[in-house]
A and B are shown apart, each in its own frame.
Chain A
Amino acid sequence: TQLLEQSPQFLSIQEGENLTVYCNSSSVFSSLQWYRQEPGEGPVLLVTVVTGGEVKKLKRLTFQFGDARKDSSLHITAAQPGDTGLYLCAGARTSYDKVIFGPGTSLSVIP
């Protein structure tokens, strides 16, 4: 059983559509991070959220940390083919703890 769950596992959408992916846990995290991974490369950090209820925006991407710090969401507006990739959430329960990952959401944006 994974400590962090992500949904959906796969998502295929048309260019221009909006989408939301979710990261959930039964545990409280001091912070959650979102990474994006392209084939043949390591994951790259998109954002870190640390405060319950926090919302961060990165161009067309909006990230939210749940009030109880157990879940997070990533919303993409007007998806583009360049958004295609594997989106991973990761968290640490304390700042001195190991970082663990969810299973990822594989996004494909069709032109």
Chain B
Amino acid sequence: DADVTQTPRNRITKTGKRIMLECSQTKGHDRMYWYRQDPGLGLRLIYYSFDVKDINKGEISDGYSVSRQAQAKFSLSLESAIPNQTALYFCATRDSSYNSPLHFGNGTRLTVT
């Protein structure tokens, strides 16, 4: 089983719908991140969390919200999806040691029509 699991892998939704992307991890890491990837823009940070109940905005948090109710789970919500939120979304985890690497899930491809 993957250490970082994202569900769903693919999702198509309509403008205005609420949608939640889930991320769970078995690595026991404290830090969790949500990124979106668009061609030519690399990965841009949406939100990150250093512990349960700790939430921090990233570079592009507008239109998104997150919930970290347990160490192993970090969910990303789009309250009212819009077409320019069509992208590939990645969840990542990291332990708290100095310069530790990010461990990524396999991504969720979201299309908003």
**Chain A interfacial positions (CB closer than 8 Å to B):** 2, 4, 6, 9, 30-31, 33, 35, 40-45, 48, 50, 88, 90, 92, 95-96, 98-104
Contact = CB atoms under 8 A, between A and B. Distances in A.
Contact of A48 (B40, B48, B101): B101
Contacts of A99: 33, 45, 94, 102
Interface in B82-113: 90, 92, 94, 98-99, 101-102, 104-107
18 contacts: A4-B42, A6-B42, A9-B40, A33-B99, A42-B105, A43-B43, A43-B102, A45-B102, A48-B99, A88-B43, A90-B43, A98-B45, A98-B56, A99-B102, A101-B42, A101-B45, A103-B41, A104-B40
B42 A40 contact: no
B99 A43 contact: no
B35 interface: yes
A88 B104 CA distance: 13
A4 to B, nearest CB: 8
A90 B43 CA distance: 9
Nearest to A91: B99
B101 A45 contact: yes
A6 B43 CA distance: 13
Contacts of A88: 42-43
Interface centre among B4, B56, B105, B107 (most CB of A within 10 A): B107
Interface in B51-67: 56, 58-59
Interface in B2-40: 4, 33, 35, 40
